[in-house]
Amino acid sequence: MPADFIDLVPDPEHPRDRLLLGIRHFEEPFLLTVSLSQGLGSSELWLDRGRAGKARLAEFQRVGDRVLFVVRNKHFRTSGDPAAVRAGQESFALSVMWSGPVLREENGAAVVDATGLVLADHDRVADHLAEKEQGEYTVDETRSLPLVADSRTGPAGTRLPALLTFRGPGRGAAVRSVAADPRALTLVQQLNLVRLPADPMPARRFHPGSGGYGIGYADHGHIGVRDTQVKVQPRFRVGPDSAPIVFRVDPAIPEPFRSAVIEGGNWWQEAFAATGLPGAYRVEAGGDDFDPYESGVNGVVWVHRAGRGWSLGQGLTDPRTGEILHARVRLGSQRVEQVRALGEALLAPYGRPDETERLAAVEELVLARLRHLAAHEIGHALGFMHNFASTTHSKPSVMDYPHARLRITDDGGIDLSAAYSSGLGPWDHFLVAHTYGQFADEPTALAQLRDEAARAGLHFISDEDAQGAHAAHADAVPWVTGGHALQALETMMRARRLALDGFSRGVLPPDRQTGELEERAALLHLLHRHEVTAVARLVGGVRYAYGLAGDNGTGAEAADASTQRRALARLAELLRAEQLALPEAVLSALTPPAIRYGRTDQYLDTEAGRIFDPFSAVRAGVTLVTEHLLEPARLNRVAWQHAADPEVPGVGDVVGALLAATWRRPDPVPADVPGGTAVQHTADWTLLNHLLTVLNDNTLHAQVRMELRSSLRQLAAELRQLGASHESGRPDDEEMRREAAELISGFLADPRSVRLDPLPRVPPGAPN
């Protein structure tokens, strides 16, 4: 039997509060990882059960009668002869994280008291809490102790858990919402010391168009020979001589959700079999001894949190080769409630004659989402990145973020039966083939796979290029339903209107307090939010692909002018009162939260006391559009594209389209729109406030700022003229127009003299 990596040495005098270790492997690098097996439970703070921190490269060193615990930066290496290696090691600082005296020699090992080592905040929880503005926390060693009885060791590694209590002010809103006493946060940290494989797996070079994660390091031994940046593809070891990749699912997941997770996770079997690796991968239920923190175990962990939160798939990799040594997936249980709320809001099942059938459709919606979620997060753990361009494929990838695809039936109903796709898409098969395929001539075979994917139109765009204010790719938007963005928006707007017009107490289970109807109304009011993002991405949008300089390809190309103009016109229409006003079916159903209940961040804000505020709903609906079209980076792109091609809409066109639907609206608001004129006025002012706010942004190029100022100056002149002539077409708002003209002129003259309102808050819409 091989010896344990580290000895757990009994300590009869202090069996519970002192941890003795026997160290015999000095200057042997291993991986240091930190997990939390007792979490904090806040979606805002991410300190969850099952959390796995970033791996670091560590080793024990002995200096005289002391043992040092040393961490090195794994992102810097130097290959070559001993002199080159030494130069590399001495060029970058290492970090001594702990030091302790040798108590005695025993069985060829140096025995040390490692209590201080395991009671250190290796996951930097205190720093994380400070960054999240929760206050300054420190480990209180008087209320912390090593969990000696739960420590484990073996030939492959050692696990050292500790109960850590963080002492702090307890004033942060996030910690106050979840902790029993926010002044004392007690978590369980699992310190894992994992040995690197003695027989390193051959590395597969990372290609940016492969869809895989690229991990790596700078090898300064390459200087003068080739690129110092080395990036490899993370992957499990597979093949006839390797054990299968097995993910075990937390028995804490209740049925039928557990079976859905196993079913969805096993979708990847099809791709492994098609790649010539049948039996190389499976997902199965974990037994009573399920322990996701054990080294070598690939676990799918069920995590509970307060609030809307993300799920996560991670792998621990050998930094030399990218070999995934084990992986962990965190599935947030609140996803069940989020998807169920969406289904109930759309179908309003309660109290209907067909309630049973509608509720069955909602339940299947939840299970379909969990199947997809399991496949997605396990895909991350297998080494695959997001692909937010896959809605352009013949079938979307499970590595995309899916929103429920809604179908409008011939009789005007909403059909959820095919809301989420089942099984893998062609991109997912490519991912497995490119990452796990076995080839005699690997570079040639991988290049051929990429060429075939490109010819098949399997576009790949990930993360920063698809999400966030600076994302610009026209075809890569998370949470969209697929197809052409403009058509998808039309479908979602029809579904939104049907659901809002049919709104009733039936959207909520009968045993829930009526204040929650507001949350369901907000969900429907903003149902089109992701399609708005997709259509807005066409304005100033570009298309490009990832690759290497030696690959065939082109640079970034602007979306065509006609599409941009159609997208701009359609988004501007969403600022008309007919689109923004909530129907009477909604307004007449809402009540404030009952006593002992309150609004969460999923609700729309209210400035009407405890009562639902329709004005705030309108302002959020306007901001849904303007936060995209008036984003400074987009306006800068629009200005350049228009300068290069006058057919593409420019900054003045963007502002003009928005004003045409609001301040310059030529027709009266229909009489049947609830609060019609007031709704339109609210939209007008919300847009104007946003336009003036954007002028203060220092990232705008001078020409963009000049065009914005020119558009606003022209608007002010028009408003003065219309207010004086009484020929506005909307004769009820001359005073408002004069006031708006004064506001614009005052701001353009001296921005400091005008108080602008904060931009409205739009409740979070992801994850779905």
pLDDT digits (tens, 9 = 90+) for 466-502: 998 889 999 999 999 988 999 999 999 999 999 999 9
pLDDT of residue 17: 87
Q: Which residues contact 693 (CB under 8 A, 6 or more apart)?
A: 756, 759
C-alpha 126/C-alpha 692 separation (Å) is: 39
Residue pLDDT, tens place only, 175-215: 999 999 999 999 999 999 999 999 999 999 999 999 999 99
Q: How large is the average pLDDT for residues 429-453?
A: 97
603 has pLDDT over 70: yes
- Residue 730: the pLDDT is 52
Query: What is the DSSP code (8-state) at residue 448?
Result: H
The predicted structure's pLDDT at residue 187 = 97
Q: Is the pLDDT of residue 95 over 80?
A: yes
* Position 307 pLDDT exceeds 70: yes
> How many angstroms separate the CA atoms of 137 and 181, rounded?
13
Q: Are the C-beta atoms of 19 and 193 separated by less than 8 Å?
A: no
Cα–Cα distance for residue pair 362/348, rounded to 1 Å: 10
Can you give the C-alpha Rg of the chain in angstroms?
Answer: 29
pLDDT at 472: 96
Q: What is the pLDDT of residue 554?
A: 86
pLDDT of residue 701: 97
Residue 729: pLDDT over 70: no
Whether this model's pTM surpasses 0.85: yes
Residues whose CB is less than 8 angstroms from the CB of residue 26 and which lie 6 or more positions away in sequence, other chains included: 59, 60, 61, 62
Share of the chain above pLDDT 70, in %: 99
Least confident of 213-222, 540-549, 659-668: 213-222
Instruction: Compute the mean pLDDT over every residue in the chain, rounded to the nearest whole number.
Output: 94
Distance of CA 730 to the CA centre of its chain: 44
Provide mean pLDDT across the span 29-39.
95
Nearest to 724 by CA among 660, 443, 49, 716: 716
Edge-to-edge strand list for the sheet holding 312-317 = 281-285, 245-249, 298-303, 324-332, 312-317
Q: Please answer whether residues 80 and 223 qualify as being in contact, where contact means their C-beta atoms are separated by less than 8 angstroms.
A: no
| pLDDT at site 1 | 56
pLDDT-derived band of residue 732, with 50, 70 and 90 as boundaries? low
Give yes or no for a contact between 268 and 130, defined as CB atoms under 8 angstroms apart: no
Q: Say whether pLDDT at 724 is over 80.
A: no
pLDDT of residue 199: 94
CA pseudo-torsion sign 15, 18, 24, 25: positive
Across 337-349, average pLDDT: 97
Q: Which residues lie closer than 8 Å to 512 by C-beta, 6 or more apart?
A: none
456-487 exposure pattern, b = at least 16 Cβ within 10 A, e = fewer: eebbbbbeebbbeeebbbbbbbbbbbbeebbe
Q: Using CA atoms, how far apart are residues 27 and 91, in angstroms rounded to an integer? A: 18
Predicted local distance difference test score (pLDDT) of residue 723: 63
E strands, 507-564, are 542-543, 557-558
How far are the Cα atoms of 7, 423, 425, 435, 489 from residue 275, in angstroms, in the given order?
42, 16, 14, 10, 37
Mean pLDDT, residues 130-146 taken together: 96
pLDDT, position 733 = 75
The pLDDT-based confidence of 541 (bands split at 50, 70, 90) is very high
Identify the burial level of 679 via C-beta atoms within 10 angstroms of its C-beta, where 0-12 means exposed, 13-18 middle and 19 or more buried: buried
Q: Is the pLDDT of residue 125 over 60?
A: yes
User: CA nearest 32: which of 54, 55, 51?
Assistant: 55
Which residue from 120, 113, 131 is spatially nearest to 164, judged by alpha carbons?
120
Q: Is the pLDDT of residue 225 over 90?
A: no
